[in-house]
Amino acid sequence: GLAFPQGTMTPRIPIFSLMIPYGTGLTPQPIQNTNMNLGCKLDLKTTVLRAGNAEYNPKRFAAVIMRIREPRATALIFSSGKMVCTGAKSEEQSRLAARKYARVVQKLGVLAKFLDFKI
């Protein structure tokens, strides 16, 4: 069957084309989540103003959201100095992304460290 009935404005897409059978090599990679501590308190407003690749909306979420392209990953950086890194496709990429985020924070003039890295 088709995903949408005739006469709708939505394109007709066969449902089976949206499903990828397991074991075809096209299954999604597991996403690695890591936690770490920068070992310092952060002023999130200053952090987001000085970092170009960051967003902060304290009414929606209590952390700065920062993204990098290589490895493709997103970090949630809290004022306590705790950081959660998500989106990397392997443990190695996750560690590299977390180190890059710590380096970005260091370049903002914060005495950040790379502590308590956990997958």
Is 60 inside a domain boundary? yes
What is the enclosing helix (H) or strand (E) of 100?
helix 91-107
Is 20 inside a domain boundary? no
CB 36 within 8 A of CB 75: no
Nearest-5° angle of CA 98, CA 58, CA 75? 10
What pLDDT does residue 17 have?
45
**Domain containing residue 55: CATH number:** 3.30.310.10
State how many domains the chain has: 1
Instruction: Give φ, ψ of 69 to 5 degrees.
Output: -90, -30
Is 88 inside a domain boundary? yes
Is 38 inside a domain boundary? yes
Give the domain extent around 81: 29-118
pLDDT tens, residue order, the chain (119 aa): 455 555 555 555 454 445 555 555 655 566 778 899 999 999 999 989 998 889 999 999 999 999 999 999 999 999 999 999 999 998 899 999 999 999 999 998 888 888 888 88
What pLDDT does residue 59 have?
94
Residues 6+ apart with CB under 8 A from 99: 114
Is 23 inside a domain boundary? no
* Strand, helix or coil for residue 45: helix
Q: Which two tokens stand for residue 99?
A: 């180190």
